[in-house]
């Protein structure tokens, strides 16, 4: 019973932080599953992908209704990211076949690197936005977007991290879209990517449905609370503090 309550509490914390700061669920939840609940890394990755898929569905419908989604961009990203996700999951399965439980050490190292990368990019996001604000986009082709999707999809297949944060940063660097369109397009694409990834992991037995269910029980009210509090707390400083925590967590995963 205490373990169930802890899972719901973690879902509540993650949901609240997502609502408060807009940070992706992958970078926030995965370390808590691995270090807090001691979930094997490969199960944490699959369950985290399923959690991210289910939590992004409602907001994707909202953005589609509001017209803040570039469907052609979603299609271009997905044409690469789905293939990348399949490659990432197959690589994990291959490594598990070769090394058994040793695959968890590989995942922790990969997640550690991505946490350091993502949190560093988030800390520099405002500076990057200022530098590219008045610059014309440097990539225009369908193929360029597909390559962005391929890279992000591969990373999501391996770690479940990056369906939002990494793609958002790459789109920011190479394309010029209004912020609302950037967010809406990213969320709808993330639904497709995490849906495919979680299905692949589920078929391999890497998803714990009960864990995902308990996390959702906490995260849904948490998201509402976080959204309500977002106008009452210093969100910028909270994001920076979380990024520093994620940096240290990533370092711990690499050198633990």
pLDDT band of 36, cuts 50, 70, 90:
confident
d(CA 24, CA 164): 6
Looking at the chain, the whole-number percentage of residues with pLDDT higher than 90 is 39
Predicted confidence band at 22 (pLDDT cuts at 50, 70, 90)?
low
Q: What pLDDT shows up at residue 16?
A: 84
Question: Residue ranges per domain, the chain?
Answer: 2-255
- 220-229 pLDDT, tens digit each: 888 878 777 7
pLDDT cut 70: percent of the chain above it:
94
What is the SS3 assignment for 205? coil
In this predicted model, which residue has the larger pLDDT, 198 or 253? 198
Tens of pLDDT, residue by residue over 72-91, are 999 999 999 999 999 999 99
Residue 38 scores a pLDDT above 60: yes
Asked if residue 26 has pLDDT above 80, the reply is no
- Residue-level pLDDT at 97: 92
Check pLDDT > 80 for residue 126: no
């Amino acid at each position: 019973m205490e373990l169930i309550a802890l899972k719901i509490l973690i879902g509540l914390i993650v949901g609240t932080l997502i609502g408060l700061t807009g940070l992706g669920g992958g970078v926030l939840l995965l370390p808590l599953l691995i270090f807090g609940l001691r979930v094997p890394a490969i199960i944490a990755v699959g369950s985290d992908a399923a959690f991210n898929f289910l939590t992004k569905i409602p907001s994707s419908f909202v953005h589609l209704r509001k017209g803040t989604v570039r469907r052609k961009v979603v299609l271009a990203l997905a044409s690469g990211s789905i293939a990348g996700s399949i490659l990432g999951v197959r690589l994990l399965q291959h490594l598990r076949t070769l090394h058994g439980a040793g695959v968890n050490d590989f995942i922790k190292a990969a997640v550690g690197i991505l946490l350091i990368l993502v949190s560093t990019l988030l800390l520099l996001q405002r500076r990057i936005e200022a530098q590219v604000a008045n610059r014309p986009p440097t990539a225009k082709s369908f193929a360029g977007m597909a390559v962005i999707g391929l890279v992000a999809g591969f990373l999501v297949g391996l770690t479940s991290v990056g369906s939002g944060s990494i793609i958002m940063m790459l789109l920011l660097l190479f394309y010029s879209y209004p912020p609302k369109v950037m967010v809406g397009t990213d969320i709808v694409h993330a639904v497709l990517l995490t849906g495919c990834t979680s299905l692949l992991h589920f078929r391999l037995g890497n998803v714990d449905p009960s864990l995902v269910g308990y996390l959702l029980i906490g995260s849904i009210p948490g998201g509402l609370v976080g959204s309500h509090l977002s106008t009452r707390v210093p969100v910028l400083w909270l994001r920076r503090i979380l990024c520093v925590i994620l940096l240290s967590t990533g370092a711990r995963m690499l050198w633990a």
